[in-house]
Amino acid sequence: MDLLRSLPLGLYLEQPQTWLHKIDPRVKFAWLMSFLTSYVLANNFWRVLLVVLLIIATLIARIPRRVWRQQMGWLLMLSFFVLAIAAISPDGMGIDYQPRLPANEQILTQPSNANNLVQEQVGDQKKYSYVLFHKGPVKVTRYSLSLAVRLSTLIFTVIYSTNLYLLTTAAEEITSGIESLMQPLRRFNLPVTEITLTLTLSLRFIPLVLEEVQNLFRSVMTRAINWKKLGLKGGFKVWMTVAERLLENLLLRADQMANAMMVRGFTSPNEHQVQWHDLRLKGRDWLAIAALILFWGIRLAMGTQV
């Protein structure tokens, strides 16, 4: 089991360099925030469209199949599972379904203009049905299906858009772009550099956490523990010991990183700034900004929930 390969969440793809890698990190951050915020008060058409756009962007960017296949596959399975469970779950509306036809059906057969009008209205009402599917204990209503689409698309959009951003943007680019966007906050005496430094170290720490979890999991598996003999209480003690060891190892790694920074004379981020990237908007960046404006125009025109 290799978590760094089977579950590469939050890891940066160094090779190959796609066109998504070459876009300015500030523009990509604006796109990420657009995906995460345009979901609010949007209709189901727009929510499904966001999922389609993420899949198309992954394919057009020519990211290696080995990278996105397992992540997208498991995430699509999870979203579909949530969609199915939420669709057949009670919608919680508490609506009493009443028959639309009158109790005396002979009224509809009497030849009069008023009754003809009633028949036309009843015929129109028959086209609408709040219950879309009902067979045995399985019942799907319009509201439960709408909730299912909202929840499943939200899970996919939030997780995969963030993962795609981290996959095509280096940690130093992310922090440089965020620091550039946060420059106006310096007027309020906010520690912008310290915040971005903490973010950089956090992103760098993600692979270390996965590595420690992987090593501890392998150490437990190699000992061939008989879990049936241990029972529930014994198994709980083993996993508590593993969690304690994981915390100790992570704190040790953090202490090693802090000592390495102190040895190199890093006393204040304002005095030891390292310019990793020269942030300049190029032609492809302006094209991405124009596409972002079009994105929000379509969102306001077609994606608003009525």
**DSSP symbols for 48-100:** HHHHHHHHHHHHHTT--HHHHHHHHHHHHHHHHHHHHHHHHS--S--PPP--S
**Contact between residue 116 and residue 35 where contact means Cβ atoms under 8 Å apart:** no
Q: Where are the domains of the chain?
A: 1-93+131-169+278-306, 191-274
Instruction: Please report which confidence band the pLDDT of residue 303 belongs to, taking 50, 70 and 90 as the band edges.
Output: confident
Q: Mention every residue, 6+ apart, whose C-beta is less than 8 A from residue 54.
A: 35, 156, 157, 160, 161, 164
Rounded to an integer, the average pLDDT of 49-64 is 90
pLDDT per residue as tens digits for the range 280-289: 888 888 999 9
Q: Give me the pLDDT at residue 270, please.
A: 59
Whole-model pTM: value is 0.72
The CA distance from 306 to 79, in Å, is: 25
pLDDT digits (tens, 9 = 90+) for 112-155: 554 554 455 545 545 667 777 778 788 888 888 888 999 999 99
